[in-house]
């Protein structure tokens, strides 16, 4: 009978996951390749160990950059992603690399936020998700687009409707003093 090595037992005990389960993720690689063209294939998901629970996960990206499709000038934003997972969750390093891939992507603010929402829905099929962009002013105008999606469960459709109808800039994002 084969036994696990001491380090494998220790890794499983501390992480609650089998090390083989995560071996193909970008996380932990010595050399990170940053793609500067929009690449949704960078996103990776892992199994949610608690799919029957309802729990929020929030990601805050304070350094999102894309390009204006008309002028090619850079646009800067903070991106907030709030979601309730179902069977899959997004791996955070893959999300960082994915968001970085917008660096030379020319699209309007609203389209970037909707694209991020759509790509995460395709990857994870969450119970609920919302993506908020807080773009810094250019030409004196700040733009705060919002996109959301839910599964077919009545409670999450109602949550989506409620949050959409009550959305206002800053309502579902956070004070960045909580981040820094």
Buried-state track 63-85, b at ≥16 Cβ within 10 A, e below 16: ebbbbeeeeeeebebbbbbbbbb
SS3 42: helix
68 is a catalytic site residue: yes
Q: Which is the catalytic residue, given 61, 75, 112, 119?
A: 75
Strands 45-47 and 74-84: unpaired
Asked if 109 contacts 145 with a C-beta cutoff of 8 angstroms, the reply is yes
Domains of the chain listed by start with CATH number: 53-175 (3.30.1130.10)
- The whole-angstrom separation of Cα 143 and Cα 69 is 15
Question: Where does the chain have alpha helices with state H?
Answer: 6-15, 92-100, 109-124, 154-165
Q: What is the pTM of this model?
A: 0.83
59 contact partners, CB below 8 Å, separation of at least 6:
79, 80, 81, 90, 92, 95
By C-alpha distance, which of 37, 18, 15, 126 is closest to 81?
Answer: 126
Options 41, 61, 68, 86, the catalytic residue: 68
Per-residue pLDDT of the chain (180 residues; tens, 9 = 90+): 545 445 444 444 445 666 666 666 665 666 777 887 899 999 999 999 999 999 999 999 999 999 999 999 999 999 999 999 999 999 999 999 999 999 999 999 999 999 999 999 999 999 999 999 999 998 899 999 999 999 999 999 999 999 999 999 999 998 888 777
**86 catalytically annotated:** no
């Amino acid at each position: 009978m084969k036994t696990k090595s001491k380090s494998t037992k220790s890794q499983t005990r501390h992480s609650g996951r089998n090390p083989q389960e995560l071996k193909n993720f970008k996380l932990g690689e010595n050399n990170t390749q940053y793609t500067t063209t929009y690449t949704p294939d960078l996103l990776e998901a892992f199994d949610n160990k608690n799919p029957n629970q309802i729990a929020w996960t929030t990601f805050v990206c304070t350094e999102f950059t894309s390009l204006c499709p008309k002028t090619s000038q850079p646009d800067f934003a903070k991106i907030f992603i709030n979601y309730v997972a179902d069977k899959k969750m997004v791996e955070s390093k893959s999300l960082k690399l994915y968001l970085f891939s917008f660096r030379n992507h020319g699209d309007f603010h609203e389209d970037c936020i909707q694209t991020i929402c759509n790509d995460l829905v395709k990857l994870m099929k969450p119970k609920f998700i919302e993506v908020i962009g807080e773009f810094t002013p250019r030409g004196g105008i700040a733009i705060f687009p919002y996109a959301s999606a839910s599964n077919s469960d009545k409670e999450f459709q109602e949550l989506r409707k409620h949050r959409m109808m009550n959305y206002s800039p800053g309502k579902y994002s956070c004070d960045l003093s909580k981040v820094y």
